[in-house]
Amino acid sequence: MQLRETLRNVSRTFAISIEQLPLALRGAVTIAYLLFRVSDCLEDNDQLERGQKAELLRLWAQALRGIVPVSSLIKMIAHLDESDPEVYVARHADQLLDELHLLPETIQETIIEHVHRTSLGMARWQEHGPVINTEAEMDDYMHEVAGRVGYLLTDLFGWYSPIIRKRKPQLRPLAREFGLALQTVNIIRGMRKDYERGWIFVPRTFYEPLGLTADGLFATENHDKTLQVIARLADKSEAHLHHGLNYITSIPRDHYRIRLACIWPLFFAIKTLAVSRDNVHVILSEAKITRTEVMDIIRNTTLMGWSDSWLRSYYSRLLAARKTQWSQT
């Protein structure tokens, strides 16, 4: 498996960030990210039934611990279409584990611990079912699929940097919020797609007081009420994003590559949120920002991301932006 090529096939935007990291971190984060994508595949693939997904996720968690051979998982997903980059990663999980075991033992244990916990959390949510009742449940789900990623990255950054290691007690709560920020934006921009595959990640307490049902969120006659729900989700996302910004400004300026690797996904999310807020099209299709907008963010932050005051100003400017153009990166 060519890790760099596989990473780019699975996610162009996260590949940009990961490839920015110092070389000593890049390989470990690449492997960790791809291992998480195995879990994502088992959670999301449309060819798998919900009960089967929970079973496979638990099997994957055992394979990570070496309790069962990973070949037992690979055999059970051999029927999935490997032209899907995420399926390709899952069906080559044995090669990923081989790459993992070349890393320092401390890093192996850290990565396995977090991917294991995320996989079990995903399994629990598959058994819970496709309806989120409260904001607390939404946060619980997002913690399992994204907050734990923040913990992992902070642990890896701390392994690399003694300064970051000393700041871990301050950074870990912010890392969780960072993960929740990105996942809340994903939920907003992917509302329609998730609905079509049978999941509603919007809490019932956000839409039922408006007289809406889960299906009614997507009905043309309810657009005004649905926009109120989107606005509430956007407000929630902004609160998490603010903590994400604090996470970045807590990373020392002389670790500029780590800062940039964190800046880019956060600011891509900010721009996506600006596109989605007050925009009825978010319930008709998936919200994405353009390649030009991605490159503008990369260029601007590469030049000025060392400045905390500039980052806060740029953050505010992006959040204030509104547009109705929808396009695909």
pLDDT one-digit tens code per residue, 58-73: 999 999 999 999 999 9
Q: CATH no. for residue 46?
A: 1.10.600.10
Share above pLDDT 70 across residues of the chain, in percent, rounded to a whole number: 98
Q: Are residues 113 and 201 in the same domain?
A: no
| pLDDT score recorded for residue 253 | 94
145 and 277 share a domain? yes
Mean pLDDT of 267-282: 89
Q: Do 290 and 193 have their domain in common?
A: yes
**Does one domain contain both 5 and 111?**
yes
Position 322 confidence tier, pLDDT thresholds 50, 70, 90: low
Shared-domain flag, residues 189 and 293 = yes
Same domain, 81 and 188: no
Give the confidence band of 32 by pLDDT, cuts at 50, 70, 90. Answer: very high
Instruction: Tell me which of 129, 153, 184 is where a domain ends.
Output: 129
pLDDT at 317: 93
Q: Domain tally for the chain?
A: 2
This prediction has a pTM of: 0.93
299 and 185, same structural domain?
yes
Q: In the predicted model, what is the mean pLDDT of residues 144-163?
A: 97
- 92 and 192 part of one domain: no
Residue 329's domain comprises 134-329
Taking residues 281-295, what's their average pLDDT? 86
HEC sequence for the chain: CCHHHHHHHHCHHHHHHHCCCCHHHHHHHHHHHHHHHHHHHHHHCCCCCHHHHHHHHHHHHHHHHCCCCHHHHHHHCCCCCCCCHHHHHHHCHHHHHHHHCCCCHHHHHHHHHHHHHHHHHHHHHHHHCCECCCHHHHHHHHHHHHHHHHHHHHHHHHHHCHHHHHCHHHHHHHHHHHHHHHHHHHHHHCHHHHHHCCCECCCHHHHHHHCCCCHHHHCHHHHHHHHHHHHHHHHHHHHHHHHHHHHHHCCCCCCHHHHHHHHHHHHHHHHHHHHHCCCHHHHCCCCCCCHHHHHHHHHHHHHHCCCHHHHHHHHHHHHHCCCCCCCCC
Residues 105 and 139 in one domain: no
The pLDDT value recorded for residue 126 is 95
279 and 191 co-located in one domain: yes
Q: Give me the mean pLDDT over the 223-228 stretch.
A: 94
Last residue of a domain, one of 129, 155, 178: 129
Query: Does 21 have pLDDT greater than 60?
Result: yes
